Structures are given as C-alpha cells and as structure tokens.
Amino acid sequence: MVKVNLWSGLRRFAADQTVVPVEARTVREMLDALTAAHPALLPFIKAGVSVSVNGQIVTDLNAPVAPEDEVYLIQRIKGG
C-alpha cells in the first residue's frame, strides 16, 4: 500500500484523514484509488493538484510509486 499524505485543505474531503493508504503502482493509479475511496476529492484532483514523491514534484502520471515512498498530495493554490 502507498501511504498518501494529504495537504491540510484536502483532508476534510477524505474523512479528515491525514494519511490515506491506497493500492497503486503509478501516480495515475494512486489518484484513481483516492477518488474511488473518497469521491469528494475528485473535483480538486481534476482542477489540478501537485504530487510529491520523495520530495520531488512528479508530473508524469505513469511514474511509479512504491509503499516505501513518501507521497504528498498538494492542492493547487489560487490567488492573484
């Protein structure tokens, strides 16, 4: 299982969980598993989120993730 750490603004859409474990081998599978488990996250993921794996922002949805990775899902910040 990959443990996904949710940025504070996203936690309320995942039953106030800080960490959500999901079965995934890629970033895409991780995002799909998160939205399957917590559908309220879907609009935020569709609007754009940043995924950090081991301290590096990952933009390739086919990038691998592993149980030992440190994974963070960060909400896009809006502003002017």
For each of the domains in the chain, give its residue range(s) and CATH number, in order of start: 2-75 (3.10.20.30)
Q: What is the mean pLDDT of the chain?
A: 94
pLDDT of residue 75: 86
Residue 2 pLDDT > 70: yes
Alpha-carbon span 58 to 80, nearest angstrom:
24
Residue 80 reports pLDDT greater than 70: no
Instruction: Supply the DSSP string of 17-33, one letter for each residue.
Output: -SEEEE--SBHHHHHHH
pLDDT of 78: 63
Name the pairing type of β-strands 19-22 and 2-6: antiparallel
**pLDDT (tens digit per residue) in 15-63:** 999 999 999 999 999 999 999 999 999 999 999 999 999 999 999 999 9
